Amino acid sequence: MRNAYKLDTVKARFGHNSACIDYYYNDLLRQLNILRLSPDTGETILQHGERVRMVLNDENTEPKSGGGDRLINTFHTVMNWRYGRIPPSDLELKRIAEVHDILENRLRSTLSPLQYFIRRYLFA
């Protein structure tokens, strides 16, 4: 699982930044679901991102990570791609990979090793 989301691996697998960003965003949603921060019915990408940003900044176990603020920025990138067809830059792709790592570390620190294995490997 660790290698599946490394930026170099993702870029080699999908090639285009737009496909890479979709791959990361889909897994970000899975990560947030495990953290019980799934999108609410009718909630837009940005509304969901803002709600998650507030929760992550309030509960942040790693205050220096800035996970909530970084996450909302990546949600802007996803929205720009999905609705504006503005392809993500290499820098934006790097940022979503960093947010993915922050959330993955949060999952590892929040869940027991058994829970982590079950939620991330068996039910991924």
Q: If DSSP codes are grouped into helix, strand and coil, which group holds residue 78?
A: helix
Instruction: Please state the pTM of the whole predicted model.
Output: 0.90
Element (H, E) at 4: none
Both tokens of residue 66? 């800035």
Domain of residue 83: give its range.
3-122
Alpha-carbon Rg for the chain in angstroms: 14
pLDDT per residue as tens digits for the range 72-97: 999 999 999 999 999 999 999 999 99
> Is 11 exposed, middle or buried (CB count within 10 Å of its CB: 0-12, 13-18, 19+)?
middle
**CB of 73 within 8 A of CB of 95?**
yes
Q: Which residues in the chain come in under a pLDDT of 50?
A: 63
**CB of 46 within 8 A of CB of 76?**
yes
Q: Which of 11, 28, 29 has the alpha carbon at shortest distance from 19?
A: 11
- Give the pLDDT confidence score for residue 63 in this predicted structure: 46
Work out how many domains the chain is built from and give that number: 1
